[in-house]
Amino acid sequence: MRGAVIHAPGDVRFESLDDPKILKPTDAVIRTAVTCVCGSDLWPWRGLDETTDPHPMGHEYVGFVEEVGSEVAGLRPGQFVVGSFATSDNTCANCRNGFQSNCLHREFMGTCQAEYIRIPNAQGTLVALDETPDEALWPSLLALSDVMGTGWWAADAAEVRPGSTAVVVGDGAVGLSGVIAAKEMGAERIIAMSRHESRQKLALAFGATDIVTERGEEGVARIKEMTGGIGADSVLECVGTSQAMSQALYSARPGGNVGFVGVPHDVAVDGEELFYSHVGLRGGPAPVRRYLPDLIDRVLTGRIDPGKVFDLTLPLAQVAEGYEAMDERRAIKALLKP
Amino acid sequence: MRGAVIHAPGDVRFESLDDPKILKPTDAVIRTAVTCVCGSDLWPWRGLDETTDPHPMGHEYVGFVEEVGSEVAGLRPGQFVVGSFATSDNTCANCRNGFQSNCLHREFMGTCQAEYIRIPNAQGTLVALDETPDEALWPSLLALSDVMGTGWWAADAAEVRPGSTAVVVGDGAVGLSGVIAAKEMGAERIIAMSRHESRQKLALAFGATDIVTERGEEGVARIKEMTGGIGADSVLECVGTSQAMSQALYSARPGGNVGFVGVPHDVAVDGEELFYSHVGLRGGPAPVRRYLPDLIDRVLTGRIDPGKVFDLTLPLAQVAEGYEAMDERRAIKALLKP
């Protein structure tokens, strides 16, 4: 089969690779329906995460079951499946507590920009649909495997409640998905912090009620001004930089909550500042598996359409162009078709 | 009148001071029934917080209303009142959200180790009892003004739930009060981290089910061992040092919560570690005023007896001996009688 391999910053190649095989009896192999490029894939592309040896890329996927290991129950070849970027047995103590992305047997996916994919912990990770969905829904179902699941987690961790005010820091695909989540959870006011016109439009289409273009201290001042001087009930931090984290913490009201889902790069939170802010802070890799049944239902019934974050569709063979377009912010998110 | 004044580390004197007066129409003046020394008073006593000019000390109090300002309704001379170490108007947006210790008109108390005390924001701060309580209850009511309210907040911020496992880091008066709170909130297992026999005994009397004497990494390993390898649902951080915060964060399970109430001294939380831990973190000065009506009821009905944290009673004139005894850990907490 063929798939994407990163060799160095800016150097992702579409190459021949060994076909994935069942390595453990708990594995499955799926044929990729669609996959995509994630904002976090840009860290090694930009050289901000080191690439020591060439390795496959990609952790988002929907596909068709091709083969299952001897210990995988409830899945059979031909089924259309959605899974998380973090695999889980869905039975351990952390999974039972709803934190499947901290499963004691967790393996992070990393080979999904390819024609076939091996899925560890298949039974606990994959959710099979009753029938193959219309191809028009594949992008939205694909979004659930990471960005929409992560946006949902950001809103959940930030404790968005009906009638509340939510601020979304970051206008990437996760931030935009966070707008959808805040809307679904009943936020009355959703303030998207964005200075890119196409992303502002999508944020408004997804349910944002206000756009704030200022950043840093000016952005915080604007949020305070809009929230009676005290700040927002919930802030979704969807970037992962130190500046974004500060912006998020200072935008939340005393007793408010920040859900942080951007993988932190050189972020340190000052204990005394957090103390006097009274802000609650929770983040981490999204427990996508917890949300999947509900989110699949919302997609299939047409309540949400997170697939709109894909504003570029490419053949899988042109995966490198997907990285480039996202790096140069010509695209929000690139969908890849095998 | 007379009261405590700190002049330098280790130098607290009982001196003649001006009688407090109504300075703003929202003030009250109370005659102190009992007051005490707080663990946080030891920071300047030990020279870890700087003392630039001599100033009065103390922020815990119960007393009798002596005089009220022209804008104070609902309080009259002679009433027995309990209040918080942080004053609040109890009407601003932060107060309405339940974070009275972040009131937009907040003033921290700091002159309470004295015979009379001026209380700013009196109407929103003080809770008057229907009648003067039996003197035997005064220590427990006094404890509500800070340590018991703070322990309650630690358990609340750590989201202690019926049937859950709670760990308490810190065996000072706040940590011991946290044990009471975790018990009242229905924790099934309460693990107190303590290596002092008298404090262990009190923790067990207050409802702790287990004592862990190990600290740091060994302490964390012990907690993991006791909690099926994953950590505790809730951890109450009642110290404020970097070591205590680490111990708390690593003792919580993925998806668990740390409530931190020790004023942080040189504490920085690494964003990436917090991210992968999935632990929720919330702290701050306790919103004591929110809890007061409920906690007063629990004391008056005999459900809780936090006054037991006072294991030394002194005349107010011997306030310096209270500091010394606590500094040398001869006493958990010193009660002062005018």
Beta bridge partners of A168: A192, A236
Same fold, A2-146+287-337 and A150-283: no
- Nearest alpha carbon to residue B99 among B148, B52, B141, B157: B157
Contact A284 B272 (CB under 8 A): no
Please indicate if any CB of chain A lies within 8 Å of the CB of B278.
Answer: yes
CATH topology of domain B2-146+287-337: Quinone Oxidoreductase; Chain A, domain 1 (3.90.180)
User: What stretches of A35-192 show up as alpha helix (H) in DSSP?
Assistant: 42-45, 93-96, 122-125, 138-144, 147-157, 173-184
ipTM: 0.95
Tell me which H or E stretch contains B206.
Answer: helix B197-206
Closest CA to A249 of A287, A161, B248, A272: A272
Report the distance separating Cα B189 and Cα B200, nearest Å.
15
Asked if A276 is an interface residue toward chain B (Cβ–Cβ < 8 A), one would say yes
Q: Is B238 on the interface with A (CB under 8 A)?
A: no
Contacts of B98 in chain A (CB under 8 A): 255
Work out the percent of chain B whose per-residue pLDDT is above 90. Answer: 98
Q: Give me the half-sphere count of Cα atoms (radius 13 Å) on the Cβ side of residue B283.
A: 27
Q: Is B220 helix (H, G, I), strand (E, B) or coil?
A: helix
Q: Does B101 touch chain A (CB under 8 A)?
A: yes
In a structure prediction context, what are the per-residue pLDDT tens digits for chain A, which is 338 residues long? Answer: 999 999 999 999 999 999 999 999 999 999 999 999 999 999 999 998 899 999 999 999 999 999 999 999 999 999 999 999 999 999 999 999 999 999 999 999 999 999 999 999 999 999 999 999 999 999 999 999 999 999 999 999 999 999 999 999 999 999 999 999 999 999 999 999 999 999 999 999 999 999 999 999 999 999 999 999 999 999 999 999 999 999 999 999 999 999 999 889 889 999 999 999 999 999 999 999 999 999 999 999 999 999 999 999 999 999 999 999 999 999 999 999 99
| Distance (Å) of CA B237 to CA A212, A219, A252, B261, B287 | 37, 32, 23, 6, 16
Are B267 and A268 within 8 A, CB to CB? no
Burial of B171 (0-12, 13-18, 19+ CB in 10 A): buried
CB B162: neighbour CB atoms within 10 A?
A: 8
**pLDDT number for residue B263:** 87
CATH 3.40.50.720, domain A150-283, yes or no: yes
Q: Is the dihedral of CA A251, A254, A256, A261 positive or negative?
A: positive
Distance from the Cα of B221 to chain A's closest Cα (Å) equals 17
Torsion angle of the four alpha carbons B56, B61, B64, B65, in this order, in degrees rounded to the nearest 10: 70
Interval B189-206: pLDDT, tens = 999 999 999 999 999 999
Q: Enumerate residues 184 to 203 of chain B having a beta carbon within 8 A of any beta carbon in chain A.
A: none
pLDDT computed for residue A291 by the predictor: 98
Q: Cβ–Cβ of A268/B269 closer than 8 Å?
A: yes
Instruction: Return the pLDDT at A308.
Output: 98
Per the CB < 8 A criterion, the answer to whether B238 and B169 are in contact is yes
At residue A216, the pLDDT reads 93
Residue-range domain boundaries for chain A: 2-146+287-337, 150-283
User: Which pLDDT band holds residue B312 (cuts at 50, 70, 90)?
Assistant: very high
Q: Is residue B215 packed enough to be buried (19+ CB in 10 Å), middle (13-18) or exposed (0-12)? A: middle
A61 touches chain B (CB under 8 A): no
Residue A265 confidence (pLDDT): 87
CATH top class, domain B148-283: alpha beta
